[in-house]
């Protein structure tokens, strides 16, 4: 893999500057082979044997994401959930882990069901509150502190550097779900985190046409080896076509994220004075509880995700989502098209999402069209 030097936009646009040595093609091929030739003396000197372990098509997307995150290695997975749950499965029964109360609900549910069945002692805390993390860590017993920042769906912010210190002082690692911030806005490893996880389904791919996940590490240590072995053994790999599409999507990451951040900031500001909106949750607004920390640890914007609490309550929120014409009423985030959803309906009973909350994933459409559509949907 080539070692293109440069800023993130250069690395992304050129996908690390890779050129096919045999054809001079500027776009890598898709390798569909499931198996690779053994040497006559029974060795695999070319380094590959079978495609459940790895595939040459993964290399490019993994190398680009490792470079953008400033890590030493990256592993792609079949989904964000496959990436995240592999980290927890690599821990041992009896290990204590801390995770946020406010986080991607699918992973929270997995932790409190399968994670506990696997034998993990799981504590959910208010991860925006460092004192709550400090009170929950058990020195010598806590193995992993997991955070998500900004966190679904209130965009609560955790101070990554401070959380890393709390984890490390207790002998634990810090893992950060960096899906929403992307490496363009936040680089958790440079702030002290040990692992970064992505639902690459979101901004990294960016076109709502690939389900993918990834982990990036600061060290290829025993835990990383276990994660790699679990991916190989369990087979939670990305298909070669999906890996190729992911790399293609990542080439425009910087343009999409920049545009989404700018539009989200405008919408947050304009909606915060709308008479049908009770509150806007966006870390870029000075009244967001995480604003000061976000301003310190996010560069270039506060992300493309925001939520609004609709003044008329739950039914008014659901009715607002029903009236949109430009926004798409759908789950997920980070695509080029703007999405709106009533989050409590998605998360179900026990969700910390307020019932009047609509989650907005801002795409790259004309900002005025997005604002006008929300205005008519809220105002009817």
- # residues contacting ligand PLP (CB under 6 A): 17
Is 95 an interacting residue with respect to ligand PLP (CB under 6 A)? Answer: no
Is 85 an interacting residue with respect to ligand PLP (CB under 6 A)? Answer: no
Report in angstroms the alpha-carbon separations of 337 from 203, 260, 304, 330, 365: 11, 10, 12, 10, 7
User: What token pair was written down for 167?
Assistant: 């984890």
CA distance 190 to 184: 12
Placement of tokens 């080896």 in the chain: 225
Q: Which stretch binds ligand PLP (CB under 6 A): 44-52, 73-81, 168-176, 247-255?
A: 73-81
Is 158 an interacting residue with respect to ligand PLP (CB under 6 A)? Answer: no
- Of residues 196 through 225, those in contact with ligand PLP by CB under 6 A are 199, 201, 211, 213
3-class DSSP assignment, residue 304: coil
Is 99 an interacting residue with respect to ligand PLP (CB under 6 A)? Answer: no
3-class DSSP assignment, residue 173: strand
Picking from 311, 202, 318, 213, the residue whose alpha carbon sits closest to that of residue 260 is 202
3-class DSSP assignment, residue 281: strand
Active site residues: 52, 104, 177, 202
Contact in structure between 138 and 172 (CB atoms under 8 Å): no
Give the residue nearest to ligand PLP (CB): 80
CB of 199 to ligand PLP, least distance (A): 3
CA distance 131 to 229: 36
Cα Rg of the chain, angstroms: 21
Is 152 an interacting residue with respect to ligand PLP (CB under 6 A)? Answer: yes
Is 367 an interacting residue with respect to ligand PLP (CB under 6 A)? Answer: no
Of the candidate residues 175, 180, 321, 374, the single one contacting ligand PLP (CB under 6 A): 180
CB of 268 to ligand PLP, least distance (A): 19
- Angle, helices 240-250 vs 56-69, to 10°: value is 30
Is 104 an interacting residue with respect to ligand PLP (CB under 6 A)? Answer: yes
CB of 234 to ligand PLP, least distance (A): 15
Contact in structure between 105 and 346 (CB atoms under 8 Å): yes
Closest to ligand PLP by CB, 236 vs 378, is 236
For residue 363, give the H/E element and its range: none
Is 81 an interacting residue with respect to ligand PLP (CB under 6 A)? Answer: yes
Closest to ligand PLP by CB, 152 vs 218, is 152
Closest to ligand PLP by CB, 191 vs 311, is 191
What is the Cα 283 distance to its own chain's centre? 16
Is 341 an interacting residue with respect to ligand PLP (CB under 6 A)? Answer: no
Q: Which stretch binds ligand PLP (CB under 6 A): 128-136, 174-182, 188-196, 248-256?
A: 174-182
- Of residues 299 through 328, those in contact with ligand PLP by CB under 6 A are none
For residue 308, give the H/E element and its range: strand 305-310
CA distance 177 to 198: 6
User: What token pair was written down for 272?
Assistant: 């915060």
Closest to ligand PLP by CB, 177 vs 194, is 177
Picking from 188, 194, 231, the residue whose alpha carbon sits closest to that of residue 85 is 231
Per-residue binder mask for ligand PLP (CB under 6 A), 129-148, x = binder: -------------------x
Of the candidate residues 62, 177, 228, 242, the single one contacting ligand PLP (CB under 6 A): 177
Interface with ligand PLP (CB under 6 A): 79-81, 104, 106-107, 148, 152, 177, 179-180, 199, 201, 211, 213, 332-333
């Amino acid at each position: 893999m080539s070692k293109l030097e440069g800023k993130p936009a250069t690395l992304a646009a050129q996908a690390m500057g890779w050129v096919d040595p045999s054809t001079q093609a500027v776009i890598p091929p898709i390798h569909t082979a499931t198996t690779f030739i053994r040497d006559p003396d029974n060795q695999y000197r070319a380094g590959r044997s079978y495609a459940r372990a790895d595939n040459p098509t993964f290399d490019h997307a993994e190398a680009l994401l490792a470079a953008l995150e400033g890590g030493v290695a990256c592993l792609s997975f079949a989904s964000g959930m496959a990436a995240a749950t592999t980290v927890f499965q690599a821990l041992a029964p009896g290990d204590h882990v801390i995770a946020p109360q406010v986080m991607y609900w699918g992973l929270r549910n997995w932790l409190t069901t399968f994670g506990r069945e696997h034998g993990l002692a799981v504590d959910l805390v208010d991860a925006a509150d460092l004192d709550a993390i400090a009170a929950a860590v058990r020195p010598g017993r806590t193995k992993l502190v997991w955070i998500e920042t900004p966190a679904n769906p209130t965009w609560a912010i955790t101070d990554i550097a401070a959380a890393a210190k709390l984890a490390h002082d207790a002998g634990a690692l810090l893992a950060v779900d960096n899906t929403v911030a992307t490496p363009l806005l936040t680089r958790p490893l440079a702030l002290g985190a040990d692992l970064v996880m992505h639902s690459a389904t979101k901004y990294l791919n960016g076109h709502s046409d690939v389900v993918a996940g990834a982990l990036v590490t600061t060290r290829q240590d025993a835990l990383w080896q276990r994660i790699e072995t679990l991916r190989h053994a369990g087979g939670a790999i990305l298909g070669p076509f999906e890996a190729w599409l992911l790399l293609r999507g990542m080439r425009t990451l910087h343009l999409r994220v920049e545009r989404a951040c700018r539009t989200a900031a405008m919408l947050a500001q304009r909606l915060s004075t709308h008479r049908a909106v009770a509150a806007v949750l966006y870390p870029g607004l000075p009244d967001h509880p995480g604003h000061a920390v976000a301003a310190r640890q996010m560069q270039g914007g506060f992300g493309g995700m925001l939520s609004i609490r609709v003044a008329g309550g739950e039914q008014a929120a659901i009715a607002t989502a029903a009236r949109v014409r430009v926004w798409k009423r759908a789950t997920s985030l980070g695509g080029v098209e703007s999405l709106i959803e009533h989050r409590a309906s998605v998360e179900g009973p026990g969700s910390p999402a307020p019932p009047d909350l609509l989650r907005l994933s801002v795409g790259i459409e004309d900002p005025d069209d997005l604002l006008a559509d929300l205005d008519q949907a809220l105002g009817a």
